[in-house]
C-alpha cells in the first residue's frame, strides 16, 4: 500500500466512512493483525472487569487528529495501527472476540457498532439484543450459583428461567437481578443517567450512591427505574414497556411521545456524536419519530420543524440544541 493510499484509507477510517470491502481489506493486513495481537498480549488480566469506554477512546483518537490542523504527518502513521484496531472493536457490523479466562472459564465480549444492533445467545439460553455502541462480557458457561454478565451500553434481556440460579447484570452503576424476566438496561459509562425497564416478571436493582450507601428497588411490569448520577437520586416511573423497548423487535431506533432528555442519549449512541441541550428544554419537549437511514442533521432539522428548537453544529462535529 503506497503512502497516498495509506493516508486516504486512514482518513476514511477516522471519519467512519470505510466501505465493507475496504474494511475487510484493512482487517486482513498483517500490520493490523499484528497490532491486535500485541494489544491482546499486553492487556492486563483485569480486563474482564475493565469498564473503559471504547466509544470514548475512539472519539478521542479521532478528535485528536482531525480537530488539530497542525498535526504532523508522522502522527497519522503513528496512530494508524491503533485506530485500525479500535475500528475492529467498533466496526459497523459489531464484533465478538475471546477475552481470556476467569476461574478457568473462557470469557467472551460482543460489541455492537455505531448504527448497529446485535443479537447474542448466552450459554444458558438467554437471548440478548444489544443496542448501538454497546459491549457485553460473559463467560462460556455459568458454572456457579449465579449467572453474571457485564454490560456497558443498552441491551434487552429475555432471560431463560432458572429459579435456582439468578441472572445478574452488572453495569458501572447498577446490579440488576432477575429470575425469569424480560427487561431493558440502559447504562453507558459516559452517560449520567442509568435506566432499567421491566416488560414482564420481576427484577431487583441495587445501586451504590456516591456516599457509599446502597439502595434497592423491585420493579413490577411496565415500570422504569432511573438513576441520575449527577443528582445522586433514583426514582421509578410507569411506562408502556413494550413500546419503550420496541427497538428490540424493529431493529431501528424509535420514539413515541418521548422526552428529549430520553431521546438525546440514544441518538448520541446511534450516531456517535454528542448532542448538548439545556436540561429544562430537554425535559419540556416531546417527540415521536423513527430513525431509519436519515442523517443526524436531518433528524435534528425535522425536530426543529415541530418545535421552537434549532440545532447548531460545533467546531468539533457535535451539536447543540437551542431555542430559535
- Kindly report, residue by residue over 59-114, the tens digit of the pLDDT: 444 444 444 444 433 333 333 334 444 444 434 445 554 455 566 678 888 888 77
pLDDT at residue number 20: 63
pLDDT at residue number 83: 42
Q: Is 153 left (phi over 0), alpha (psi -120 to 50) or beta?
A: left
The strands making up 275-277's β-sheet, listed across from edge to edge, are 275-277, 319-323, 309-313
Average pLDDT of 213-240?
90
Note the pTM of the prediction, 2 decimals.
0.67
C-alpha to C-alpha distance for 241 and 262, rounded to whole angstroms: 14
Q: What is the CATH architecture assignment of 252-323?
A: 3-Layer(bab) Sandwich (3.55)
pLDDT at residue number 88: 43
CA-CA distances (angstroms) from residue 208 to 122, 173, 175, 240? 27, 7, 9, 27
Q: Where are the domains of the chain?
A: 1-91, 252-323
C-alpha to C-alpha distance for 260 and 69, rounded to whole angstroms: 34
Amino acid at each position: 500500500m503506497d503512502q497516498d493510499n495509506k493516508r486516504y484509507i486512514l482518513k476514511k477510517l477516522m471519519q467512519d466512512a470505510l466501505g465493507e470491502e475496504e474494511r475487510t481489506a484493512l482487517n486482513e493486513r498483517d500490520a493490523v493483525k499484528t497490532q491486535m495481537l500485541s494489544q491482546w498480549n499486553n492487556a492486563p488480566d483485569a480486563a474482564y472487569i475493565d469498564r473503559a469506554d471504547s466509544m470514548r477512546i475512539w472519539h478521542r483518537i479521532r478528535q485528536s487528529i482531525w480537530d488539530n490542523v497542525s498535526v504532523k504527518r508522522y502522527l497519522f502513521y503513528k496512530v494508524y495501527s491503533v485506530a485500525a484496531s479500535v475500528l475492529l472493536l467498533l466496526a459497523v457490523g459489531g464484533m465478538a472476540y475471546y477475552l481470556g479466562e476467569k476461574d478457568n472459564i473462557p470469557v467472551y465480549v460482543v460489541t455492537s457498532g455505531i448504527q448497529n444492533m446485535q443479537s447474542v445467545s448466552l450459554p444458558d439460553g438467554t437471548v440478548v439484543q444489544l443496542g448501538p455502541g454497546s459491549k457485553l462480557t460473559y463467560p462460556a458457561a455459568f458454572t456457579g450459583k449465579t449467572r453474571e454478565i457485564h454490560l456497558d451500553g443498552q441491551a434487552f434481556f429475555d432471560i431463560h428461567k432458572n429459579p435456582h440460579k439468578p441472572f445478574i447484570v452488572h453495569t458501572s452503576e447498577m446490579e440488576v437481578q432477575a429470575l425469569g424476566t424480560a427487561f431493558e438496561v440502559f447504562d453507558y459509562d459516559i452517560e449520567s443517567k442509568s435506566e432499567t425497564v421491566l416488560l414482564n416478571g420481576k427484577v431487583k436493582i441495587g445501586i451504590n450512591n456516591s456516599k457509599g450507601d446502597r439502595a434497592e428497588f423491585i420493579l413490577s411490569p411496565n415500570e422504569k427505574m432511573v438513576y441520575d448520577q449527577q443528582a445522586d437520586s433514583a426514582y421509578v416511573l410507569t411506562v408502556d414497556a413494550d413500546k419503550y423497548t420496541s427497538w428490540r423487535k424493529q431493529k431501528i431506533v424509535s420514539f413515541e411521545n418521548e422526552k428529549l432528555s430520553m431521546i438525546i442519549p440514544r441518538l448520541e449512541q446511534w450516531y456517535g456524536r454528542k448532542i448538548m441541550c439545556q436540561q429544562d428544554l430537554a425535559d419540556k419537549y416531546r417527540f415521536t419519530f423513527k430513525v431509519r437511514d436519515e442523517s443526524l442533521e436531518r433528524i435534528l432539522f425535522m425536530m426543529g420543524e415541530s418545535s421552537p428548537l434549532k440545532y447548531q453544529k460545533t467546531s468539533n462535529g457535535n451539536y447543540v440544541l437551542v431555542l430559535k
